[in-house]
Amino acid sequence: MRLFTLTALLCSLVAGTAQAAPDSRTTEVKLAKSLLAIKNNRLDIAMNEVDSLLRVNPNYKLAQLVKGDLLMAKAGAITSFGNAPHASGDKIQDLRDEARVRVQRAQAQPQTQRAPSYLWQLNAQQKYALVVDTSRSTLYVYENVSGVPRYVTDFYITIGKLGTEKVSTGDQRTPIGVYFVQANLPKNQLADMYGTGAFPLSYPNEWDKKNGRTGSGIWLHGTSSDTYSRPPRASNGCVVLGNDDLDKLAPYLQVGITPVIITNQIAWSSAQDQTERSALLNEIELWRKDWASLDTDAYLKHYARNFSSNNTDYASWARQKQAVNAGKSWIKLNISGLSLLTYPEQPGMVVVDFEQDYSSSNLSNRMKKRQYWMKQNKRWQIIYEGAA
């Protein structure tokens, strides 16, 4: 009996699939088992696996398509994947893409011993961090264990129809960068298309605005009630999970605290990361000491000439700090709760958040601050500073 085209393409992937997998990958494992059974001409076993998927997730369109092909295969009528008459070519291609991604996820072993290079340091409040690898259609969850990230689980996700590198409103692309969960919107406040909930992200962030990127409404959210999952590229820019997966993800998210790093392809931590992290921590401490010393010239050397803070450029910032410091006789400055997140696709740039406790001869305040440090000409300098 002739096997459909996608199965033949996936056989080499399925053959290496691990027998045990995290709960979050149950769907991929069952799909892989079904396709392997088809390869071995065990259509009864394949049908059992697909039926098992559909009993739990009756709206799983990919499983419905595989079942349809299996039924046609029993009649000897199957010639290609998605052989249904009048089927949309684009929709069939979307399901082919989803099948490939899900089988690749079933085969892949999570990198449990290595940390992503973006999570240089998490503060005590950040119990978890998320890293989205758009090339693998996967969202990874890491737990903060004494400031060090530890792999917890991962989920299949959908991104923008036209891929990544969001630039403007309505471009149907998912942004690349460091973002934070801004809100938790429950199902009863949302249209059905958003599923069981939504978590808006902080796009556009400070770097996006500095580079003229526009748009808004980039969320983590679920799928409509009649849909189990969506193809790898099917959103208007949001990161979309199946409703069951979103419900599993929700307990890991803290509004205003949890970082969500979206990258084209995940990079893993190396010894060089630790060296650069130590160097940056030293520069941050020197910045603190120079500010507290009232040596304004030394303090300003920590700021790059392309620095900006909202609508303030370097020259304006320098004049302001010189005027303010001239009216003070002493400054005390303490910083705590440091987090350091490297920026994907921007080598040598780190988002630094901390609690700033400032007091002086005529003013005291406490605030959450965010800085963007960039290594330029072999030196770490600040290119943005503002409230977090």
Render 190-220 in DSSP notation, one character per residue. S-GGGTTEEEEB--S-HHHHHTT------EE
Question: Per-residue pLDDT tens for 193-228?
Answer: 999 999 999 999 999 999 999 999 999 999 999 998
Q: What is the pLDDT of residue 68?
A: 79
DSSP 167: -
Contact 67, 44 (CB under 8 A): no
**Burial label, 2 (beta-carbon count in 10 A; 0-12, 13-18, 19+):** exposed
Average of per-residue pLDDT across 109-113: 79
Predicted confidence (pLDDT) at residue 239 exceeds the cutoff of 70? yes
CA atoms within 13 A of residue 249's CA, in its CB half-sphere: 32
Between 75 and 189, the higher pLDDT residue: 189
Predicted confidence (pLDDT) at residue 147 exceeds the cutoff of 60? yes
C-alpha dihedral (144, 150, 155, 157), degrees to nearest 10? 70
Q: What is the pLDDT of residue 12?
A: 46
When pLDDT is cut at 50, 70 and 90, the band that residue 76 belongs to is low
Q: What is the pLDDT of residue 95?
A: 82
What type of residue sits at position 192? D
Predicted confidence (pLDDT) at residue 4 exceeds the cutoff of 50? no
Per the DSSP assignment, residues forming a β-bridge with 387 are 369
Q: How far is CA 310 from CA 206, 357, 383, in A?
A: 8, 22, 11
Q: Which among 160, 158, 156 is positioned nearest to 102, based on CA atoms?
A: 156
- Max distance between CA atoms of the chain, in angstroms, equals 90
Per the DSSP assignment, residues forming a β-bridge with 158 are 240
- Residue 286: CB atoms within 10 A of its CB come to 15
Going by their DSSP bridges, the two strands 219-221 and 197-200 should be labelled as antiparallel
Question: Per-residue pLDDT tens for 262-311?
Answer: 999 999 999 999 999 999 999 999 999 999 999 999 999 999 999 999 88
Q: What is the pLDDT of residue 23?
A: 47
What's the CA gap between 373 and 212, in Å, rounded?
Answer: 19
Q: What is the pLDDT of residue 105?
A: 86
- Residue 189: CB atoms within 10 A of its CB come to 10
Predicted confidence (pLDDT) at residue 9 exceeds the cutoff of 50? no
What's the CA gap between 247 and 256, in Å, rounded?
Answer: 19
Q: Which residues contact 190 (CB under 8 A, 6 or more apart)?
A: 197, 198, 221
User: Which domains does the chain show, CATH number per domain?
Assistant: 5-107 (no CATH), 119-263 (2.40.440.10), 271-387 (3.10.450.50)
Average pLDDT, the chain: 88
Per the DSSP assignment, residues forming a β-bridge with 317 are none
Predicted confidence (pLDDT) at residue 259 exceeds the cutoff of 90? yes
Query: Strands across the sheet with 239-240, in order?
Result: 185-186, 197-200, 219-221, 239-240
Going by their DSSP bridges, the two strands 259-263 and 128-133 should be labelled as parallel
Q: What is the pLDDT of residue 356?
A: 98
Q: Under DSSP, is residue 377 helix (H, G, I), strand (E, B) or coil?
A: coil
Average of per-residue pLDDT across 338-366: 96
Q: What is the pLDDT of residue 89?
A: 58
For the chain, helix, strand, coil in percent to 5 are 35, 30, 35
